[in-house]
Amino acid sequence: MNHILPKPLKKGDTIGVIAPSGPVGDKAPLMRAKSFFEENGYNVVFAEHVFEQDRYLASSDKKRIEDIHWAFSSPDIDTIICARGGYGALRLINDIDYEIIKNNPKNFCGYSDITVLSAMFLKRANLITYSSPMMKGDFGAKTRDEYTIKSFFKALTGESITLSGEKLHASGCAKGILWGGNLASIVSLTGIDFIPDEEFVFFAEDLNEPVYKIDKMFTQLINIEKFRKNIRGMALGKFLDSGYPKQLEYLFDEIARGLNIPVISGLNISHEGTKDTVPYGKECILECNKLLLN
């Protein structure tokens, strides 16, 4: 399948900021992020409803969908960066007009709950997106992580990417598109058609999930025939604050044996302040303890 890779980010481009999940709250981090990009030669515009709040959501479902459609359809916007994660993207997926996204391909960036949108944009609009830092917690931090910033611009400007894992659970070589993201968010899509139709290397990370819940979520995915059929390898990020790291290692060893695929873990993909940006849906190679994206 021919997935759509948007044009690389370049100086002078305009970045649109949307909040499709949780509420932004304090405006200061987003204003710091805006200043950061403007100082580096980019323009930044906020969607109409970014700073609103509806309970635990950033505005109503209808308004958040309007902002997504606006960001993709506006000819003045080149790249879209989400404000934050949280919860809420799952509520939108059945009402998004995926033809707007397919016909207006743009760099779309975020992680955590934004995984839901990346997965569905790939599935229904063939759009390659980016698992990347976001405006509030990363670009809007009082002290920005330089590694994270460099990784973001490297990925968005189209440079080759090589990531190294800390632990090799099963060796081998795997090829396919890079697909996955936040584990809990991916699993939340179970019940609809969300798994790629082609071979993939699964990447995943999570936060504050105990090992038994991580086990349960992986098992839920592995129980899906299409997942087992198309998976060719796993490139796992960090599962922060899960407790019992040895149990987690054992689980990953067990998964590798059960699926008979190469598995590495400890990639710099996580909820930590230091993180790598990776293209979601792009062809990749998993070899030894390396994940390669050209």
**What residues contact residue 152 under an 8 Å CB cut-off, 6+ apart?**
109, 132, 133, 277
Cβ burial 37-61 (10 Å sphere, 16+ → b, else e) = beeeebebebbebbbbeeeebbbee
* pLDDT recorded at residue 202: 98
pLDDT at 244 over 90: no
Question: How confident is the model over 136-163, as pLDDT tens digits?
Answer: 999 999 999 999 999 999 999 999 999 9
Check whether 104 has a pLDDT greater than 70.
Answer: yes
What pLDDT shows up at residue 126? 98
Helix-then-strand count for the chain, H and E: 9, 14
**Is 161-293 in the same CATH topology as 14-156?**
no
The token pair at 278 is 């990776």
Q: Residue 242 above 90 pLDDT? A: no
Of the chain, the percentage scoring pLDDT greater than 70 comes to 100
pTM of the model: 0.96
Angstrom distance (rounded) from CA 217 to CA 285? 24
The CA–CA distances, whole Å, from 30 to 16, 46, 210, 229 equal 12, 9, 31, 42
pLDDT of residue 1 exceeding 80, the answer is no
Pick the CATH number of 14-156 from 3.90.228.20, 3.30.465.10, 3.40.50.10740, 3.40.50.1980: 3.40.50.10740
The answer to whether 271 and 240 are in contact (CB under 8 A) is yes
What tokens appear for 199 in the block? 């071979």
What does CATH list as the number for 161-293?
Answer: 3.50.30.60
pLDDT band at 294 (very low <50, low <70, confident <90, very high): confident
For residue 186, the model assigns a pLDDT of 98
Q: Where are the domains of the chain?
A: 14-156, 161-293
Average pLDDT of 242-250? 90
